[in-house]
């Protein structure tokens, strides 16, 4: 009987190759290492399985849950076995770029059931454009050039945006003017050129892009006036295009990309940000301003700003599409960028003034550099 027990124990030991030693510290270290490796694979799995219907952050949370569900395990041999299974899966994924394995089918079907509100979107998504938002802004086309109209808060925001851009990429000159002289800047989601024209007046060559043909058409007259009246060296041109199509034709051509107050209106944040990164050259800068996803932003940006004070047109914002700074940072860092600045902004609707703040519960600005 004793001999039989020894043989059984030996068999188990051979079947489960020890990965961790018999102490909690080493066990936790190895589990953490595998967890980090899984999270490192997350963007690749996310794209490979076409899970665009859910945010990457939700997908990461789902992976994390697989680990927390096993937090009760204390038997080192069981932990070893699960770690070994994970590492075998990593090896299989590395061998098969097309992911035709059983894991692909099982995981994809599971993801469809758990996360996807519209499984058809799992097939492929080539654009981050949100058609409903494009229609909303198209209806507001006549108001883009009115500084005291529905977009007056954006005009006022230039008092923060312009100095931020100039301080980051501007060139000092003895004359003290045209600090953006000769720099090529892409203004993504440009709308009516509220930021485009001021950048051009500072000497930049600005290529403004918007997905709405109606919005671009509405700004053509202003573009022509600027072309005839501007005596400086700056230029402003407008184009109707998705950022993805524009990036395909203009990869690495810009010294800076500005995506101000647009990321909260796109259908696929990760695809949008990746396209912005594609546009900028190495060591170029990316500027984002957007709204944080907090209870405060739901109350202030939607209930109060839209429904009570009427600062912005009703229905222009969707709280579910707001993005937390940590997730925007994560996307940038995963795509080879370094975040250099992350700062809060506060708007006073009574005075129509913006100011910098350490508080990021509402609006924030982020500056990143492409490595």
State the binding site for S-adenosyl-L-methionine.
161, 189, 210, 260
- Distance between CA atoms of residues 346 and 355, nearest Å: 5
Q: Is 6 exposed, middle or buried (0-12, 13-18, 19+ CB in 10 A)?
A: exposed
102: phi then psi, degrees, rounded to nearest 5? -60, -35
User: Which H or E run includes 171?
Assistant: none
What's the token pair of residue 332?
Answer: 């940038």
- DSSP annotation of 140 reads T
Give the other-Cβ count within 10 Å of 115's Cβ: 16
Residue 346, SS3 per DSSP: strand
β-pair partners for 288: 259, 366
- Distance between CA atoms of residues 223 and 193, nearest Å: 9
β-pair partners for 342: 366
- Distance between CA atoms of residues 290 and 303, nearest Å: 17
Binding annotation for Mg(2+) = 261, 264-265
Give the other-Cβ count within 10 Å of 306's Cβ: 17
Alpha helix (H) ranges present in 171-212? Answer: 196-201
Binding annotation = 161, 189, 210, 260-261, 264-265
Closest CA to 276 of 172, 369, 145: 369
């Amino acid at each position: 009987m004793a001999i039989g027990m020894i043989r059984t124990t030996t068999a188990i030991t051979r079947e489960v190759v020890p990965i961790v030693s018999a102490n909690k510290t080493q066990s936790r270290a190895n589990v953490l290492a595998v967890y980090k490796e899984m999270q490192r694979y997350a963007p690749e799995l996310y794209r490979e399985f076409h899970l665009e219907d859910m945010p990457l952050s939700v997908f990461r949370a789902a992976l994390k849950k697989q680990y927390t569900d096993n937090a009760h395990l204390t038997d080192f041999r069981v932990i070893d076995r699960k770690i070994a299974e994970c590492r075998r899966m990593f090896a299989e994924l590395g061998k098969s770029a097309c992911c035709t394995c059983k894991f692909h089918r099982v995981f994809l079907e599971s993801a469809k059931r758990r996360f996807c509100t519209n499984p058809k979107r799992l097939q492929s998504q080539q654009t981050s454009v949100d058609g409903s938002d494009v229609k909303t802004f198209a209806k507001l086309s006549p108001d883009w050039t009115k500084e005291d109209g529905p977009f007056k808060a954006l005009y006022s925001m230039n008092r923060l945006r312009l100095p931020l851009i100039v301080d980051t990429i501007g060139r000092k000159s003895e004359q003290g003017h045209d600090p953006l002289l000769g720099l090529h800047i892409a203004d993504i989601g440009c709308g009516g050129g509220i930021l485009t024209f001021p950048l051009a007046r500072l000497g930049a060559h600005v290529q403004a892009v918007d997905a709405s043909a109606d919005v671009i058409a509405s700004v053509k007259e202003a573009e022509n006036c600027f072309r005839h009246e501007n005596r400086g060296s700056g230029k402003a041109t407008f184009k109707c295009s998705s950022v993805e199509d524009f990036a395909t034709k203009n990869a690495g051509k810009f010294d800076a990309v500005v995506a101000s107050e647009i990321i909260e209106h796109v259908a696929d944040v990760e695809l949008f940000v990746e396209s912005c990164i594609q546009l900028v050259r190495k060591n170029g800068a990316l500027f984002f301003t957007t709204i944080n996803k907090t209870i405060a932003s739901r109350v202030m940006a939607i209930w109060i700003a839209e429904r009570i004070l009427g600062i912005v047109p009703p229905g222009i914002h969707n709280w579910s599409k707001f993005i937390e700074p940590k997730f925007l940072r994560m996307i940038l860092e995963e795509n080879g960028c370094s975040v250099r600045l992350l700062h809060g902004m506060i708007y006073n609707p009574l005075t129509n003034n913006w100011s910098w703040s350490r508080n990021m519960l509402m609006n924030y600005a982020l500056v990143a550099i492409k490595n």
